[in-house]
Amino acid sequence: MTAYLKSNHGDGTCEAPSQPPAMAGIEILNKMPTQNKTTGGDEPCCGPPPGPPAGPDEKPGYRIFSFVESFVDTPVGRVPRIKSRWDRSDWWGTIMARVGFARDRYRVAPGIYALGRPTAASPVLVTGNYKLTFDTLRKGQSGLDAWLLVLDTRGINVWCAAGKGTFGTDELVARIRAVGLGRLVEHRQLLLPQLGATGVCAISVVKVTGFKVIWGPVRAREIIPFLKNNAAADATMRGVTFTLAERAVLVPVEFYNFRKVLLGALLAGFLLSGIGSPLFDPGAAWSRGLNVAAALLMGMLAGCLAMPLLLPWLPGRAFAVKGAVTGIVAAVLVAWMAAGGALEVLALMLLTTAVSSYLSMTFTGSTPYTSPTGVEKEMRTAMPLQALALLAATAIWITAGVVNGGG
């Protein structure tokens, strides 16, 4: 039954196998437990030892996730019983993940979980250990008694993990064996999300483990109707959508991911704006730098907000082209607002368009419109053009500063 989550170092890697692992439903605290040389027991590495555990499932250096309401005895050991409803910490964690904060560390321990009051005949739902995926699955199954088999996808959602191979055949087979699934359920069926199909070879799974793979619906909320319909999916359950709401929810994380680049670009823009016939003019750096800042921000809004919201209606197939279209519109607004000569306006327009086109490509991995080969082809074509536009904008901007004496 025991399933383990290794120490996460915040850089997306999991290592330190010499440290004690965590059981499903239990989170390792920031300070890892160590062996007490005096008593031989586990205790936190720093500070005074904690008080006595509140129950048999607690131990020093660990804490039970808030979504675990109890533990249930099974033929494979004690299994955490999880809630189908979200609490405050789940909602807050979802908001933070949606805006990008600590997104790489938002994960749960792989292993087996009980939802409701499952028996040996209850279905087994397979998912990944990205907590937003895990939470979405359990929230959509209110009233269902089921087992949740959580794979170690390194904190990545099922669709992306399937493409990367972490939601794959080897991990699924290893997790079935690790939790002793054959002793937990009397049937030999697994319900996997359809979007994980690219990573799992169903034939290999049944040959090695005896468990048959059933491909479930795209959305977690359709699992109960799917099961009630004798595991038969209708057209709506198989279709992948990308509605306005589904596109809008992706916007905040792109702004968050671009924040460091934006700060660096703003600093460079103010510095380059001060170059003139005097070596450097602080007044020009500020006044002209504000125009650069406006161009960068408008390009960001065009690429990270306008493009995904208007995606179906923008011309062209390539996201870089769609982003260039919204960027040109934003560039016209920048030109109308900016104070400066023709050279400066041209530079600002090139900058706005290039930024919008580049940032639009970050959505290629979030949509059902693209393929890996198509994305690679688009990037090979678009990125040199975007870099050329950025270099041209920089050269023209500096030239305009020199010609106009920095003012």
- The pLDDT of residue 136 is above 80: yes
Judge whether 196 and 167 are in contact, CB under 8 Å: yes
Going by C-alpha positions, the residue among 226, 231, 169 that lies closest to residue 199 is 169
* Amino acid in the structure at residue 350: L
Q: How far is CA 68 from CA 57, 105, 109, 299, 405, in A?
A: 11, 19, 12, 44, 67
CA angle 288, 292, 294 (to 5 degrees): 115
Judge whether 374 and 356 are in contact, CB under 8 Å: no
Rounded Cα distance, 157 and 151, in Å = 11
Tell me 395's DSSP state: H
Going by C-alpha positions, the residue among 368, 362, 366 that lies closest to residue 386 is 362
Q: Where is pLDDT greater, at 221 or 405?
A: 221
- The full DSSP string for 159-173 is HHHHHHTSSSHHHHH
Q: What pLDDT score does 55 carry?
A: 64
Rounded Cα distance, 5 and 404, in Å = 61
Q: What pLDDT score does 145 carry?
A: 96
List pLDDT tens digits, range 350-359: 999 999 999 9
- The pLDDT of residue 6 is above 50: no
Q: What pLDDT score does 246 carry?
A: 86
**Ramachandran quadrant class, 301 (left: phi over 0; alpha: psi -120 to 50; beta: rest):** alpha
Judge whether 303 and 359 are in contact, CB under 8 Å: yes
Sign of the alpha-carbon dihedral angle for 205, 210, 214, 218: negative
**Of all residues in the chain, what percent are helix, strand and coil, respectively (each to 5)?**
50, 15, 35
Phi/psi of residue 72, nearest 5 degrees: -125, 140
Euclidean distance between the first and final Cα of the chain, in Å? Answer: 71
List pLDDT tens digits, range 104-133: 788 999 999 999 999 999 999 999 999 999
Residues in CB range of 376: below 8 A, 6 or more apart:
none
Low-confidence winner among 7-11, 117-121, 126-130, 310-314 (lowest mean pLDDT) = 7-11
Q: What pLDDT score does 24 carry?
A: 73
Residues in CB range of 165: below 8 A, 6 or more apart:
199
